[in-house]
Amino acid sequence: MTTNEPGPRAFSGSRLGWADLPRSVRSRIADLAGAEVVSEASATSGFSPGYAATLELGNGTEVFVKAVSPEQNPHSPDLARAEVVAARALPAEVRSPRLLWSDDDGTWVLLGFQAVHGRSPAMPWQPEELGLVLAAVEDLAQTGTGARGDLHPLTEDLTALAPSWQRLAEDPTSLDAAVAAAGEHGAWLRDHLADLADWARDAPEAAAGDCLVHGDLRGDNVMIEPDGTVWLIDWPWAAAAGAPWYDLLSMLPSVAMQGGGDPGSMFWRHPVSRGADPDAVRSTLAALTGYFVHGAVQPPPPGIGNLREFQRAQGLEALAWLRSL
């Protein structure tokens, strides 16, 4: 059931401040930026437990900086490294802040991006802003092949997600927790567990295509400028060779949970879904839903305590969508 109330936002509860960074890291950032840091404006959305802020520099310029080490979360440095790879591979027509520099000493990974001035979409979603973001999703799908640089194919990601229902079936404790967390969808989930696993199994092939894929589109990975310009940010999950409708499909459960409307109707009205095979859509949605539902009942990862609530809320909306197919 899609609600009219906004669901949880992706606010990080453990974002580092400038003073929390080791002095050596602060010095490296200043050297890479080319000037001393005068002030900072911290990012307030996203799941990264590291440092993320727009820095004003002594030479009058600005740079958006991310910095993370394994101390905040053991997997975050690898995600930052993946974002460096993605930023270098993105075609110029994609509206994403440019990577200006990066640095990696094996512990701290630092990224400096073009500073852009905008804000996350208002929650609950407002029709005008949602329209702008959905238009940006169409623009991204029209960039064509994403087989650039070192980007991996989307099939690799979905191959990892597809067995989520099977993992639940093999773990009675997690399955019971998932059924309980699914609320009104719990009995349906248990009764259709074998079907869900079968549908999800076909997802890697179902979502194949020739489009560049962001891979993690949500409201907190979007910025809107006052003039309506939409920036797509945070690309560590970028992939090549995906279906043109993948980003739309993976984004809509979060849109629904934050008051944006019915995901199924939005999906089929959108231009990128034109010609999509309903069975392929169901398979891909089943794999994503399994990822949300399975993830929601796992222990919270270090430094990202709010992630599981967010996954559960997306999983509920995705389950409701699956039941309607």
Encode pLDDT of 192-220 as tens digits: 999 999 999 999 999 999 999 999 999 99
Which has the closest alpha carbon to 171: 283, 297, 310?
A: 297
Please, what CATH class does the domain formed by 18-113 belong to? Answer: alpha beta
Which amino acid, 192? H
pLDDT category at 43 given cuts 50, 70, 90 is confident
- Do 216 and 127 form a contact (C-beta atoms < 8 A)? no
Lowest mean pLDDT among 42-46, 256-260, 309-313: 42-46
> Does the N-terminal peptide bond of residue 124 adopt cis geometry, omega within 30 degrees of 0?
yes
Q: CB atoms < 10 A from the CB of 201, how many?
A: 17
Query: Which long-range contacts link 138-141 to residues 24+ away (Cβ below 8 Å)?
Result: 138/270, 138/271, 138/272, 139/95, 140/94, 140/211, 140/212, 140/214, 140/232, 140/247, 141/211, 141/244, 141/245, 141/247, 141/248, 141/272
Domain boundaries, the chain: 18-113, 127-323
127-323 CATH, one of 3.90.1150.10, 2.160.10.10, 2.60.40.1250, 3.90.1200.10: 3.90.1200.10
The whole-number pLDDT of residue 38 equals: 97
- Do 223 and 231 form a contact (C-beta atoms < 8 A)? yes
The backbone torsions φ and ψ at residue 286, rounded to the nearest 5 degrees and listed phi first, read -65, -40
Residue 161 has pLDDT above 60, yes or no: yes
Q: Is the pTM of this model over 0.75?
A: yes
Q: Is 127-323 in the same CATH topology as 18-113? A: no
Percent of the chain with pLDDT over 70: 93
Question: In angstroms, rounded to a whole number, what is the distance separating the alpha carbons of residues 74 and 26?
Answer: 21
Percent of the chain with pLDDT over 90: 86
Over residues 63-109, the pLDDT tens digits come to 999 999 999 999 999 999 999 999 999 988 899 999 999 999 999 99
Please report which residue ranges of the chain form alpha helices under DSSP H: 23-33, 76-89, 127-141, 154-161, 164-169, 172-181, 186-191, 193-201, 203-206, 246-257, 263-269, 278-296, 307-323
Helices 154-161 and 278-296, packing angle to 10 deg: 60
- The residues near 164 (Cβ < 8 Å, ≥ 6 apart) are 200, 287, 290, 291, 293, 294, 295
Residue 5 has pLDDT above 60, yes or no: no
